[in-house]
Amino acid sequence: MADRDNILEMVDEDGGVYEFEFLMTFEVGGDYFLAFTPTEPTGEFDQGDVLIMRIGEDEDGEEVYLPIESQEELDQLWEIFQDLYEQAMEEEEEDDV
């Protein structure tokens, strides 16, 4: 199981609480994005699925995670995430040697 320090709890609009494992935060064009994966299957997502959300602020200045609105932007972010994640895994393997 994942390290508890990497676990995010998210609440859906119906009050359901779900746990996700944090994968990484990355920046694109001055915006920050969060990538995470469910720790167990949910109604919408399977374990191993990767979700990417924009990090924003609500009217009180609190951090919120916002959905990516367009499929084109999501596709671009997915490619960037894959490249960054692969680089991170390669660096981790090098550190383990």
Kindly report, residue by residue over 25-34, the tens digit of the pLDDT.
999 999 999 9
Q: Tell me how far apart the alpha carbons of residues 27 and 55 are, in angstroms, rounded to a whole number.
A: 10
Region 60-80 average pLDDT: 95
Distance CA 96, CA 94 (A): 5
pLDDT of residue 13: 83
Q: How confident is the model at residue 11 (pLDDT cuts 50, 70, 90)?
A: confident
Task: Count H helices and E strands in the chain, helices first.
Answer: 1, 5
| Beta pairing class for 7-11 and 17-28 | antiparallel
